[in-house]
Amino acid sequence: MFLIVGLGNPEEKYQKTFHNMGFLAAGDAAALLGAKFKKKECEASVAEGYLGGEKVIVARPLTYMNASGRAVKQLMARYKLSPKELVVLYDDYDLPKGHVRIRASGGAGTHNGMRSVIAETGLTDFVRIRIGIRDEGVEIPIIHYVLSEVRKEDYDLFSAACQRAAEAAVALAKGERLDLVMNRYNG
């Protein structure tokens, strides 16, 4: 079994914001698995798919970004998952817009959702796939920037980045080696 979690905010008003890149990438991952978000469990909207007979859960926490860890902790406990069976997708202000970066472990950086995941689960040794959102030409406080909508001229760039992040997550769920997935999708 494998768990892919996309971080974001559940309300429609946040749907097209930078802070919902994880939600968008989770939607792409579910589509790649032929799964739909049909049920709610463990404070998350959940889609279930299968790869080679193994269940893959794709989740979008409904707890809002800053409390995402509650849902991740509950899902991991419910399905008795190890850190090696978890990948988290999220936006990252520290990366240039449209870049995808995969890491095997690490801290939260400036991301409150990741702070919550790490604090609630007590884990740092799980894969995270970060989608860069920083635009060098925009100088507003991070809190306002991450909750602003993606500009129309950047939509295709972010859509492609979310798709790449989703493909990387599904490749990991298939059991592909992390180093090979990193080589293929980082950048």
Q: Which domains does the chain have, with CATH numbers?
A: 2-185 (3.40.50.1470)
pLDDT for 130 equals: 97
pLDDT band, very low/low/confident/very high, at 140 (cuts 50, 70, 90): confident
How far apart are the C-alpha atoms of 80 and 54, rounded to whole Å?
14
How far apart are the C-alpha atoms of 164 and 101, rounded to whole Å?
10
Q: How are beta strands 86-96 and 100-103 bridged, if at all? A: unpaired
Reply yes or no on whether the pLDDT at 137 is more than 80.
Answer: no
Tens-digit pLDDT profile for residues 1-10: 999 999 999 9
CA atoms within 13 A on the CB side of 54: 13
Taking the whole predicted model, whether its pTM rises above 0.75 is answered as: yes
Contacts of 66 (CB under 8 A, 6+ apart): 112, 113, 115, 116
Reply yes or no on whether the pLDDT at 138 is more than 80.
Answer: no
pLDDT for 142 equals: 78
- Amino acid present at 127: V
Q: Distance of CA 76 to CAs 1, 66, 140, Å?
A: 11, 18, 36
Chain Cα centroid distance, residue 31: 14
Burial of 63 (0-12, 13-18, 19+ CB in 10 A): buried
Q: Specify which residues 49 forms β-bridges with.
A: 56
Quick check: 42 and 74 in contact, CB under 8 A?
yes
DSSP run (H or E) holding 57: strand 54-61
* Catalytic residue (one of 19, 99, 111, 144): 19
Tens-digit pLDDT profile for residues 29-39: 999 999 999 99
DSSP, res 94: E
First to last CA, the chain: 28
pLDDT for 41 equals: 96
Tens-digit pLDDT profile for residues 72-111: 999 999 999 999 999 999 999 989 999 999 999 998 888 8
DSSP, res 133: E
Q: Any idea which of 19-23, 77-81, 110-114, 142-146 has the lowest mean pLDDT?
A: 142-146
Tens-digit pLDDT profile for residues 105-130: 998 888 899 999 999 999 999 999 99
Could you confirm whether 19 is annotated as catalytic? yes
DSSP run (H or E) holding 2: strand 2-6
Q: Specify which residues 42 forms β-bridges with.
A: none
Helix (H, G, I), strand (E, B) or coil at 134: strand
pLDDT band, very low/low/confident/very high, at 141 (cuts 50, 70, 90): confident
Tell me the mean pLDDT in the region 19-45.
Answer: 96
